[in-house]
Amino acid sequence: MSLTSEDMKRVTDLAKYSKEYFTVEYKAATNTLTLIVDGYKRNTIELDKAEEEYEKLLVYVKNAFIDFRKPGLTIKASDIKN
């Protein structure tokens, strides 16, 4: 993996503001998902079942948050009904 100029700008900005965010936008009219990182559109894809994929992403992110918790916690996302 290599760093792009956008990545370097993001890292530099992060040092100043200590905050980053990402958004996944689902647009029903065009069946598209758009990834937006720190206000910059990074990627847009058109899918036949964009709403289903959006829902899968929500579950994926939720499960990642659960699994990233402190190592001492024994419950994993797979132990929880989505």
Q: Is the pTM above the cut of 0.85? A: no
Alpha carbons 64 and 56: distance in angstroms, whole number: 12
- Per-residue confidence (pLDDT) for residue 16, from 0 to 100: 66
Rg of the chain over all Cα atoms, to the nearest angstrom: 16
pLDDT of 1 above 60: no
Number of structural domains found in the chain: 1
Question: Do 73 and 66 touch, CB atoms closer than 8 A?
Answer: no
Domain that holds residue 33: 5-79
- Residue 33: count other Cβ atoms within 10 Å of its Cβ: 19
Query: 11-63 pLDDT, tens per residue?
Result: 777 666 667 889 999 999 999 999 999 889 999 999 999 999 999 999 998 88
